[in-house]
Amino acid sequence: MFILNPQSGVPIYRQILEQVRRMVASGQLPPGTALPSVRDLALRHTINPMTISRAYSILETEGLLERHRGRPMTVASQSRNHTQLPKRLEQMGPLVEQTVVAAKQLHLSEAELVKAVRREWEQNDD
Partner 1 sequence: MTDATVEASNLSKSFGDKQVLQDMSFGVSPGDVIGVLGKNGAGKTTLLELMLGFTPPSAGAVRVFGHDSYSLPGSIKSRVGFVPQQDELLDQLTVADQLRVIASFYPRWDSSLITRLCGEWGVDTNARIKSMSVGERQKLSILLAFGHKPELLILDEPVASLDPIARRQFLEQLLTISADGERSIVFSSHIVSDIERLANRIWILKDGKLDWQGDLDALKESIVRLHIRGLKPELAPFKILGLLNLRRDGAFATAVVRDWTPEAQEALEKSASVQIEVETLGLEEIFVELHR
The residue among 6 and 30 lying less far from partner 1, judged by its C-beta, is: 6
> Which of 111, 91, 110, 92 shows the shortest CA–CA distance to 100?
110
If one asks whether residue 90 binds partner 1 (CB under 8 A), the answer comes out as: no
Beta carbons of 64 and 24 less than 8 angstroms apart: yes
Count of Cβ atoms closer than 10 Å to residue 21 Cβ: 19
Work out whether 51 is an interface residue with partner 1 (CB under 8 A): yes
- Counting Cβ atoms within 10 Å, is residue 101 exposed (0-12), middle (13-18) or buried (19+)? exposed
Q: Is residue 47 part of the contact set for partner 1 (CB under 8 A)?
A: yes
User: Under the criterion CB under 8 A, does residue 39 sit at the interface with partner 1?
Assistant: yes
Contact range with partner 1 by CB under 8 A, out of 21-29, 49-57, 69-77, 80-88: 49-57
Binding site for partner 1 (CB under 8 A): 6-14, 39, 42-43, 45-51, 54
